[in-house]
Amino acid sequence: MNLGELKTDALAFLDERSGGSFWSPTIQNSWANLANRLVYGQVAALSPTYLTQHSVITYPASSEYIDLSGAGYLNSVPLKVKKVEELFGGTSVSPSNQPQELHEENPEWTDAYEDHSPYPTTKWWIDAGTSMFLAPTPSSARVLRLRWIDSVDAMTLDADDLLGGRAAPFHDLVLAVYVKILQSKERREDMSMESLRAFIAASIREAEASRTTGMMGYKDPY
């Protein structure tokens, strides 16, 4: 589903004529993006496999940190880096080149550069959203495989897909949330962000539980 289809379906639910004279295009797009961000964030937290992707990067020698958003790395601001692995025999995973997971460090808890283990390991962490550190600082280039979730871009064109073109089973959930937002404004109801997030989380958990029964994805209640 794309932004244009989302707005058309929502206005149909609300018995608004095509074009939506009650809601300006600016307001429609703003609330559509709010619904999209809220659902994306909850899917990322509760059902991340719909959004995760893998990228292989080269961490340069003698670099304290790299900017993951830069060209040659992820070229985007990650919402979350979930796992970092190292490849020792090239950039492709194969039976003879299996990735080895690196330890995620929390520099708030300890001195990340200290390692008192008898078996020293490479550690990684992210600061400021995009700055990735390795400790100890590598003396040679390292080939890393990242499992990560991208941030979701704002939808500006009607052809822009919901949820960044991913997690299709939850596109109807974006529609449901969008309709709820419009209805609450139309009826002058007080709908908090907490109640919207609770509704989204419950819907995602229900969809996840339904996988075992063969009914996968969010079921539209409208």
Q: Is 183 helix (H, G, I), strand (E, B) or coil?
A: helix
Tokens, residue 43: 């899917």
Tokens, residue 148: 């990560």
Tokens, residue 10: 């929502």
Q: Is 96 helix (H, G, I), strand (E, B) or coil?
A: coil
**Stated pTM of the model:** 0.85
Give the mean pLDDT of the chain: 88
Q: Is 163 helix (H, G, I), strand (E, B) or coil?
A: helix
1: nearest Cα among 156, 210, 169, 203: 169
pLDDT tens digits, one per residue of 67-121 = 999 999 999 999 999 999 999 999 999 999 999 999 998 877 656 666 655 555 7
Tokens, residue 217: 């994805």
Q: What pLDDT does 101 receive?
A: 95
d(CA 27, CA 20): 11
Confidence of residue 222 (pLDDT cuts 50, 70, 90): very low
Confidence of residue 191 (pLDDT cuts 50, 70, 90): confident
